[in-house]
Amino acid sequence: MILITGGTGFIGSHIAVACLAAGKQVVLFDNLSNSNIEIIDTLEKITHQQVSFIRGDVLDQDLLTTTMQDFGVDEVIHCAGLKSVPESVDNPLRYYLNNVQGSLCLLRAMQTCEVKTIVFSSSATVYGMPSYLPYDEAHPTNPMNPYGSTKLHVEQMLRELAQSDHSMKIMCLRYFNPVGAHESGLIGENPKGIPNNLMPYITRVAQGELPYLNIYGTDYPTKDGTGERDYIHVMDLAEGHVMALDYLKSHPGYGVVNLGTGRPYTVFDLVNTFQEISGKTIPYEIAPRRNGDLSSYFANPSLAKQIMGYETKRDLKSMCASAWSFQNQLDIQ
């Protein structure tokens, strides 16, 4: 039985679908601070299976312990966390409490219940300013904001735990830029308020909820001057977690693995592909660079392939098409 913390969130919900599709059992644990309970019904509709859910906070170690005991949990995927970079700059202690202390409570509950396996949602943001690209897992880590620091602190805690207990099976997955939605269009990324990230912003412009896209900087040293990122389809990302759990079964210890495609795309690549698949025009205005943005970063995905045979399957068109399909479903609801 797999405990998925943050299981009703954007990535956690897709991981739940991937786990159930692989014949695994899951219990989702979430305080619903950035997601909705309705997602459980939707997951049941997609998977035709019953989905167990506990509403709770990862800071509540006792509830985590009883949940693990009641459901016979033997593996954990830890997605619960706060993820806004600007918010973490304004309120770093909230981020340390939720992300670092929350992870500590989870690990202590796992220790009580002798649960040895955990896959952690880390981020490429731990690398910071690129010394070279693509980033491989040996690239120095130097996060540029408190959000990234919390991810690195948790990675360090996990590494030291694995050093102290050789039966632990731990993998930190450093996500690049997850976008898109499940192919049903029933679950996806639905941020509250005005989106910070590019893909949800584009879908809301396409749908008419926002008037135009701001393109933050056209003077970067990239092919068209706009920022480059390694966008990965959220279902590819989700399937990576299933493969990570399978890998850990026969590989105790601690590991860090990038989850990206290795292919960078610019803002204009995304806008143009989205326009092509949706038939919508995305009006845009050129705006100054966004504070703290890097020009370009993308993954070296070879370690994931080498150790667990992982390769992404879905292209940029599929990312845009599924994100658009999800936006349209939202409008119907």
- What is the set of active-site residues? 147
Nearer residue to ligand UDP within complex by CB, 26 or 205? 205
E-assigned strand segments in 56-142: 75-78, 117-123
Nearer residue to ligand UDP within complex by CB, 110 or 213? 213
Residue 260 lies near ligand NAD (rule: CB under 6 A): no
In whole angstroms, give the CA distance from residue 74 to residue 69.
Answer: 9
Binding mask 203-242 for ligand UDP (x = CB under 6 A): ----------xxxx----------x-x-------------
**Candidate segments 75-83, 199-207, 244-252, 288-296, binder of ligand NAD by CB under 6 A:** 75-83
Nearer residue to ligand NAD within complex by CB, 225 or 329? 329
Nearest to 168 by CA among 118, 99, 133: 118
Strands 228-229 and 265-266: antiparallel
Tokens at 72, concatenated? 């016979």
Binder to ligand UDP among 24, 153, 159, 290 (CB under 6 A)?
290
Nearer residue to ligand NAD within complex by CB, 263 or 276? 263
Q: How far is the CB of 134 from ligand UDP (least distance, A)?
A: 14
Q: Position 220: which residue type? A: Y
229 contacts 271 by C-beta, under 8 angstroms: no
End-to-end CA separation in angstroms for the chain: 32
Q: How far is the CB of 47 from ligand NAD (least distance, A)?
A: 18
Nearest to 332 by CA among 181, 200, 185: 185
Binder to ligand NAD among 4, 26, 51, 81 (CB under 6 A)?
81
Phi, psi dihedral angles at 165 (to 5 degrees) = -135, 105
Nearest to 19 by CA among 73, 91, 95, 89: 73
Q: How many CA atoms lie within 13 A of 180 on its CB side?
A: 27
Q: Which does 8 bind (CB under 5 to 8 A by kind): ligand UDP, ligand NAD, none?
A: ligand NAD
Residue 68 lies near ligand UDP (rule: CB under 6 A): no
Q: How many helices (H) and strands (E) does the chain have?
A: 12, 13
What residues from 16 to 55 belong to the interface with ligand NAD (CB under 6 A)? 30-35
Q: Which does 141 bind (CB under 5 to 8 A by kind): ligand NAD, ligand UDP, none?
A: none
Residue 158 lies near ligand UDP (rule: CB under 6 A): no
In whole angstroms, give the CA distance from residue 186 to residue 54.
Answer: 21
Nearer residue to ligand UDP within complex by CB, 47 or 84? 84
**Candidate segments 64-72, 132-140, 170-178, 308-316, binder of ligand NAD by CB under 6 A:** 170-178
Q: Which does 11 bind (CB under 5 to 8 A by kind): ligand UDP, ligand NAD, none?
A: ligand NAD
Q: How far is the CB of 127 from ligand UDP (least distance, A)?
A: 12
In whole angstroms, give the CA distance from residue 84 to residue 204.
Answer: 19
Q: What is each CA distance from 209 to 132, 180, 204, 206, 325, in whole angstroms? A: 39, 18, 5, 8, 16
Residue 75 lies near ligand NAD (rule: CB under 6 A): no
CB contact set of 279 (below 8 Å; sequence gap of 6+): none
Binder to ligand UDP among 10, 120, 175, 201 (CB under 6 A)?
201
Residue 177 lies near ligand UDP (rule: CB under 6 A): yes
Residue 98 lies near ligand NAD (rule: CB under 6 A): yes
In whole angstroms, give the CA distance from residue 264 to residue 292.
Answer: 19
